[in-house]
């Protein structure tokens, strides 16, 4: 696997964990139901991320409005790979991107303190055409990590980074099948809209 573009995640033989940040209303309803239900929107793209620290950077450790609750969403590995097999990189030709059920974006991975690292983390956008499949068929469990995230943030702020690291979810390289990896890795798949191979656009 390309060292710059490597999927790292908390995974086991059958499942993989994605992280998402939501409002309390969406999170509470999802935790009660064990899957996403209203007021979660089934009519817009939802982004799932296997990197806990990238989501912490994105949500400012759950401090941003509408992103106060941190959820670990465990989905099947078969569902994850199905999503990637349908994906198009976000700087692909506009016609291909518009028709795609799944978008893939690579952004710089983040350190415990939020600094950009020299390798990339994958973000996967599941379109409204596939969200029902994600919710009804792929999700196997949802866990609330809000308090854990806050504890880690407090430890980092108080200078206890070593203790904070011990609370991070485990993430290790995920063995993406070669044919799927070529599809979602910049420079390996079809040409972008400008005729060059795709590179991270930094939109998300």
Distance CA 117, CA 115 (A): 6
User: Looking at the predicted structure, is the pLDDT value of residue 51 above 90?
Assistant: yes
Instruction: Tell whether 57 is covered by a domain.
Output: yes
Q: Which of 2-16, 35-49, 119-133, 188-202 has the lowest mean pLDDT?
A: 188-202
Name, in order, each residue with C-beta under 8 angstroms of 83's C-beta and a sequence gap of 6 or more. Answer: 102, 124, 126, 130, 134, 138
pTM equals: 0.90
Distance CA 121, CA 184 (A): 12
Q: How far is CA 99 from the centre of its chain?
A: 21
- Residue 108, classed as helix, strand or coil, is strand
Instruction: Tell whether 90 is covered by a domain.
Output: yes
* Pick from 12, 10, 22, 63: nearest CA to 172: 10
DSSP 8-class letter at 202? -
Instruction: Tell whether 87 is covered by a domain.
Output: yes
Categorise residue 178: left if φ over 0, alpha if ψ from -120 to 50, beta otherwise.
alpha
User: Looking at the predicted structure, is the pLDDT value of residue 198 above 60?
Assistant: no
Instruction: Tell whether 70 is covered by a domain.
Output: yes
Instruction: Tell whether 191 is covered by a domain.
Output: no
The structural domain count of the chain equals: 1
Q: What is the pLDDT of residues 139-149, one digit of tens each?
A: 999 999 999 99
pLDDT of residue 3: 85
Give the phi and the psi of residue 138 in degrees, each rounded to 5. -100, -35
- Print the domain residue range for 125: 8-184
Instruction: Tell whether 128 is covered by a domain.
Output: yes
User: Looking at the predicted structure, is the pLDDT value of residue 203 above 70?
Assistant: no
Percent of the chain with pLDDT over 70: 91
Instruction: Tell whether 76 is covered by a domain.
Output: yes
Instruction: Tell whether 201 is covered by a domain.
Output: no
pLDDT of residue 127: 98
pLDDT of residue 80: 99
């Amino acid at each position: 696997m390309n060292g710059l573009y490597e999927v790292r995640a908390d995974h086991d033989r059958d499942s993989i964990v994605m992280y998402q940040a939501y409002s309390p209303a969406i999170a509470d309803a999802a935790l009660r139901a064990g899957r996403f239900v209203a007021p979660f929107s089934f009519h817009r793209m939802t982004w799932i991320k296997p990197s806990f620290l990238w989501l912490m950077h994105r949500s400012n450790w759950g401090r941003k409005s509408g992103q106060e609750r941190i959820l670990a969403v465990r989905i099947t590995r078969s569902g994850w790979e199905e999503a990637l097999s349908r994906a198009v990189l976000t700087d692909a030709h506009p016609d291909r991107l518009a028709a795609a059920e799944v978008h893939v974006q690579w952004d710089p991975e983040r350190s415990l303190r939020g600094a950009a690292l020299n390798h990339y983390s994958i973000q996967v956008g599941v379109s409204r055409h596939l969200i029902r499949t994600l919710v009804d068929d792929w999700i196997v469990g949802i866990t609330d990590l809000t308090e854990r995230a806050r504890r880690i943030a407090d430890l980092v702020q108080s200078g206890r980074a070593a203790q904070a690291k011990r609370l991070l979810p485990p993430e290790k390289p995920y063995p993406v099948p070669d044919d799927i990896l070529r599809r979602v890795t910049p420079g390996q798949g079809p040409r972008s809209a400008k005729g060059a191979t795709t590179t991270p656009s930094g939109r998300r």
